[in-house]
Structure 1
């Protein structure tokens, strides 16, 4: 890669990889009372990798806020970037930006119903499903945990709809579709960190 990034969104469209947002950690600060340090420096970067030519290039950067820990999904020619955070989970975003790979331009779409980051996005039955995330409540002062919400985006109507919630809230987990089901695997059950061995399945029918 042309630069070092973490917490980046990745999408594959028409044989190319799009790496969007993330953080470059140009500033690293220790977290008091822990052996952990945290990197800061969220970016608007949009890199494109062409595996056929083994080449990197730059595309139009994210509009407005830089962000990391965003959800990312592909519908047709378009890449949808959902939520994320400007710096930490205290600056969660509800933004929904859409990049058209044919025109190279960004547009905005219906925002997430609730600002959040570190959720999981997957395409199921032609809709984008976004699940979980952190942190609930006023994350700046009294974070209360993680979201169990699951919402589905209909691009034709530009609208989000609530679907069945997960049995338990989570963040930082994986999502993928197999057949007519979406699978949500692992994740932290608390705001900030942790893990689980859960493997959840969702059907929209």
Structure 2
């Protein structure tokens, strides 16, 4: 989108997932100055109104995670919680309830 409103801050290594009328950016890494921060933030872009919204944050930070949408739920799988610590945690965001819950951990 040529004229789309820019995101408030840059981030990387995160999934972008379409749920209903929004594009959800979940977690990832932010690099303000020389410091790298793992995020739990969720940003939601609404193309119809060209507006970014602050979504409900994940319970824990995550980067390099996998993501999928099934029905009205976003699944966030694995990734890194901080630095080099690989996580087996699976989180589910329910778009109808606007809340996160835990799913069983990944097998190691």
TM value normalised by structure 1: 0.48
Which residues of structure 2 form unaligned runs of 5+? none
Which residues of structure 1 form unaligned runs of 5+? 1-47, 49-56, 169-205
Larger radius of gyration: 1
Where relative contact order (Cα < 8 A, 6+ residues apart) is larger, the structure is 2
Alpha-carbon RMSD: 1.9
Consecutive aligned runs of 4 or more in structure 1 exceeding 4 Å deviation: none
8 A Cα contact 2:72 2:96, kept in partner: no
Distance 1:89 1:129, change over 3 A: farther
| Residue in structure 2 matched with residue 62 of structure 1 by the alignment | 7
In the alignment, the residues of structure 1 paired with residue 77 and residue 35 of structure 2 have an alpha-carbon distance, to the nearest angstrom, of 16
| Shift of residue 125, structure 1, vs aligned partner | 2.9
Residue 95 in 1 paired to residue 35 in 2?
no
8 A Cα contact 1:89 1:134, kept in partner: no
Describe the superposition over 1:72-107 as per-residue Cα deviations: whole angstroms up to 9, x where unpaired.
110122100000101399411111011111100011
TM value normalised by structure 2: 0.87
Aligned residue runs from structure 1 range 171-186, under 5 A: none
In the alignment, the residues of structure 1 paired with residue 56 and residue 14 of structure 2 have an alpha-carbon distance, to the nearest angstrom, of 15
In the alignment, the residues of structure 1 paired with residue 101 and residue 44 of structure 2 have an alpha-carbon distance, to the nearest angstrom, of 18
